[in-house]
Amino acid sequence: MEVRLQKYLADAGVASRRKAEELIAQGKVKVNGEVVTEMGCKIDPKKDEVTFLDKKIDTKETKMVYIMLNKPRGYLCSTSDDRGRKCVTELIDVDARIYPVGRLDLISEGMLLLTDDGELKNRLTHPSHSLPKVYRVKVAEPVGEEEYEILTAPLEIDGYTIKPVDVM
C-alpha cells in the first residue's frame, strides 16, 4: 500500500507532516538513494528505502511513544515557545519527538496525552472526527442563569465559531 512520503516520515517519528514537507523540500530525504524534493511523492514502505540525512527510516522498527502527563499550571501545551515560557515537553525525558494531543491553557492543570503517533493525534483532535472534550472546572461561586447562558452560547475564538458547550 502506497503512502505519501511526508506521512511516512511523520509516522516514523522523524518530524510532523508539515516539518517533513520542509525537510523534503530542502533535499534532506532520499527514496531508493535518490533525493526527493517534490511534494506528493508516494512510496511503498515494503519496497522502498527511505533515508533522512542518509540514515535509514523504517516505521516497522519504530515503536510509538504514549505518555500521560498531569500537566501542572504554568506550562504551555507546546514543544517550544518563542517567548521563553516553559513547555510540557521540558517535563519529559524521552528519545522521541513527541507532541501534546490537544491543549490546556497555561494556567490550567490536568491530564494531557503526549505522543509521536501522528495518526492517533489526528484522530483525537481533528474536528472532522467530532470527539467530545470534557473539562472539569471548579468555580468560586455557583453559576447563575446569566453565566449559564453565556457559557452555553456559541463562542468565537481566533476568528472561528466553536460549538456551544454542555454545562452540567
pLDDT tens across 122-140, in order? 889 888 888 887 878 888 9
The one catalytic residue in 11, 93, 105, 158 is 105
Sole residue written with cell 533515508: 51
Give 4's pLDDT tier (boundaries 50, 70, 90). Answer: very high
Mean pLDDT over 108-132 rounds to 87
| Burial letters 113-132, b for 16+ CB under 10 A, else e | bbbbbbeebeeeeeeeeeee
pTM of the model: 0.59
Mean pLDDT over 30-55 rounds to 92
pLDDT value at position 62? Answer: 62
* Distance in angstroms (rounded) separating the CA atoms of residues 73 and 121: 23
Query: Which stretches of the chain are assigned E, i.e. beta strand?
Result: 3-4, 29-31, 34-35, 42-43, 50-52, 55-57, 66-71, 99-101, 110-115, 155-157, 160-162
* Distance in angstroms (rounded) separating the CA atoms of residues 75 and 108: 9
Active site residue 93: no
pLDDT value at position 76? Answer: 95
